[in-house]
A and B are shown apart, each in its own frame.
Chain A
Amino acid sequence: MRLLGFDAVVRADDPVVTRALTELYGPLSCDEPAEHIITFTRTRDDICELHLDGARILHTESPAVAFSHLIWELNRQTIEHTTGRTLVHASAAARGGQAVVLVGPMGSGKSTLVAALVQAGFGYVTDEVVAINPETLLVDPYPKPISLGGAGGSVPDALAALQTLRPAGLESYLGDHWLVAPERVRPGAVADRTMIGAVVVPDYVPHAPARLEPLSRPEAVLTLAEHTFQLGDRPEDHLDALARVVAEASCHRLISGDPDGAVAALRPLLERAEAAT
């Protein structure tokens, strides 16, 4: 698979894991030789191990821990190996060549919201890393599996149907974590490279009707910068790229209590951005 700047072959001795990874990372698979090898092994006494390029990186008795660590490790390696991009920890969905970037702290509902947007017909860009090319300001898609409901989080009723879309047989590996392949949410959902039309900071407030509030451009840049990976490596370049992104985007805070209302509030943003271009 090719994950932005990280190429890897993932091998597993359990066919359930192999099938699941093939489904979950389908949009990121490629046939070209990979630079790195990750192996996922499970012994008869249920010891799971992860190796990266021959070096053991995990040894655990919990398949769920091992599988979630694999997903985490793939993300980590992606972030470490991707150069020449400003990488923001955020979700994004696109429509008409314009993406809405959802940026905010953990638990603010970014992944839930991006799943709802994809269900509603938006293209899926990512639920983890928005990779901005600082020269073109285009976002490279990173359509990893959508991660829902982990760490005690709950999934709204409107998205409960997604639960049935988990890869089959993966229960012992996933625990209460939902991983959903974007193509299972909606075939053809994965977006191409897009511009950023809107920057939105979601704020999940139970039962609150969805509403957008204006966000100043400096606040938007600050929020994006706060969630930029490895900002300290080239801070001047990253801040400059984020400022240029925000200069072309509408910026809002989104208060919402349900995904449907949030989607309805966000849809006009991208329609306006699309019309403007």
Chain B
Amino acid sequence: MTEPAPLDGRFVPRARDVASVMVDGEAIIHHAGSLHHLNRTATVVWQCCDGDSDLDTLVTELAAGFAIDAEIARADIGGVVAELVMMDLLLPAAHDTTDLDGVESGVDGGVALTVLVDPDETCASCAERPWTHNAAYAVGDVLAPIAVDDPVVGQALDAALAAQLVPSVGPLTPYYAVVVPPLDRSGRRRGLYALQRGATVAVQSRGLSRVLHALLVHLASHGDLGARGLVAIPALVVAANRRALLVPRPVRPVAFARALARRGVTVADAPAALVDPIEREIIVGAPGLLVDLRALQSAIDTHPIHGNEPAALPWGRYELGGLAVAGGNPARALLDFAPPAEPAPAASVDALIKVIESVPLIDAIEPDAIAIALGATVHTEVAEELT
């Protein structure tokens, strides 16, 4: 369900991927798996929203056509249009991305959505691969094309992110891709699930759950975090005992995560650390993303996990214990955590300086030092499995 958008005279295009039939002047509409029945008034308004008329024009024409007061018509039609937007039968201008052929899209008078594209378009396999599911989701002011090579997982993703799904967009080159290992002859999946961003493997796991949750975190990082009082710092979040440190992103993140896991420290699957500077806390999760996790769980349940691996840091709030910086040097901290840091969202330098000034800078870069700084307890079983 789409949140109601401001409809003060802006372009209001009709959703294009709908099937409809008119019966006695009333529309029966099929859209995104749902059926809708519009009464005669709503049907007239819906038919008039053809992508060529803005709301002002619509009000003027219908008020004249039905010989009613323009202000009454505006209130009535505005209400109907808002309801149709809630039903996802109309798209607010900001979400009309039907004619996308470049990075920037949008319609005059509306807010443009920027389509996320892999900077170097290095992932030829992503573009050419015959994905079973390829859809675009609006988060903040970006449009993220996501491909999945499993139809059940794709449908679950659509259901979970129904509020963000922009159905009128055709297949785009995927920015994110969820790779599901194929079934072998015994019906087991051999290989790793992966979240790819272009050519980069962002997360690999033996479990689908971890990859899908990582996808949500990545998506949420494109949202309007500032409006939620959060600062995004391009760093790795590591934690133990509900206390977190921010560590500069290592060159080999998977090996680093395994080394930390052997020492009782867990790493978050996130492209950036989302810091609440007032509470001095780290948010691990997908803040601002309207997501139905039950819909995802239905797909996850069909993919049993095989084998062991380091777990990801569970979603939640963690006390920000400090920034891990060689020598505890503030200037070095600014260099290590400064923007720009594509693909991770980046804080402004001002916001970063405030965080640096408000939390301890800890001289702990190596796994052993990080574990000691967090007072981690080595989990023997995990260490044995990972050794």
Contacts and interface: CB of A to CB of B under 8 A. Distances in A.
Nearest to B25: A218
Given A217-B23, A218-B23, A221-B21, A239 B33 contact: no
A235 B21 CA distance: 10
Contacts of A210: none
Nearest to B31: A235
B149 interface: no
Interface string A141-160: 00000000000000000000
Interface of B: 19-24, 26, 28, 30, 33, 35, 37
A232 B23 contact: no
16 contacts: A216-B24, A218-B24, A218-B26, A218-B37, A222-B37, A231-B30, A235-B19, A236-B20, A236-B21, A239-B21, A240-B21, A242-B21, A243-B21, A243-B22, A243-B23, A243-B28
B35 A222 contact: yes
Interface string A206-242: 0000000000111101100110000110011001101
A246 interface: yes
B24 A232 contact: no
Contacts of B35: 222, 225-226, 231
B33 A218 contact: no
B19 A239 contact: yes
A235 B23 contact: no
Counting chain A CB atoms within 10 Å of each CB, which of B22, B33, B37 scores highest?
A: B37
Contacts of A235: 19, 30
Contacts of A240: 21
Contact of B23 (A226, A231, A236, A246): A246
Interface in A181-222: 216-219, 221-222
Given A222-B28, A232-B30, A239-B28, 6 more contacts: A218-B28, A219-B37, A221-B21, A225-B28, A242-B21, A243-B22
Counting chain B CB atoms within 10 Å of each CB, which of A218, A222, A226, A239 scores highest?
A: A218
Contacts of B23: 217-218, 221, 243, 246-247
Interface in A62-114: none
B24 A217 contact: yes
B38 to A, nearest CB: 9
Nearest to B19: A235
Nearest to A222: B37
B163 to A, nearest CB: 20
A225 B21 CA distance: 11
Contacts of B21: 221, 236, 239-240, 242-243
B26 to A, nearest CB: 4
A236 B24 contact: no
Contacts of B19: 235-236, 239
Nearest to A239: B21
A221 B35 CA distance: 11
Contacts of B20: 236, 239
B26 A232 contact: no
Contacts of A218: 23-24, 26, 28, 37
A95 B21 CA distance: 29
B30 A239 contact: yes
Contacts of A236: 19-21
A67 to B, nearest CB: 26
Interface in A235-277: 235-236, 239-240, 242-243, 246-247
**7 closest Cβ pairs, A-B complex:** A235-B19, A235-B30, A239-B21, A236-B19, A218-B26, A218-B23, A243-B21
Contacts of A246: 23
Contacts of B33: 232
Contacts of B37: 218-219, 222
A242 B37 CA distance: 14
A225 B27 CA distance: 13
A225 B19 CA distance: 12
B30 A225 contact: yes
A71 B19 CA distance: 33
Nearest to B36: A222
A145 B258 CA distance: 60
A218 B24 CA distance: 7
A260 to B, nearest CB: 33
Contacts of A225: 28, 30, 35
Contacts of B26: 216, 218
A234 to B, nearest CB: 8
B28 A221 contact: yes
A93 to B, nearest CB: 25
Nearest to A244: B21
Nearest to A220: B23
A217 to B, nearest CB: 5
A235 B30 CA distance: 7
A240 B27 CA distance: 12
Contacts of B22: 243
A72 to B, nearest CB: 20
A232 B34 CA distance: 9
A86 to B, nearest CB: 12
Nearest to B39: A218
Nearest to A247: B23
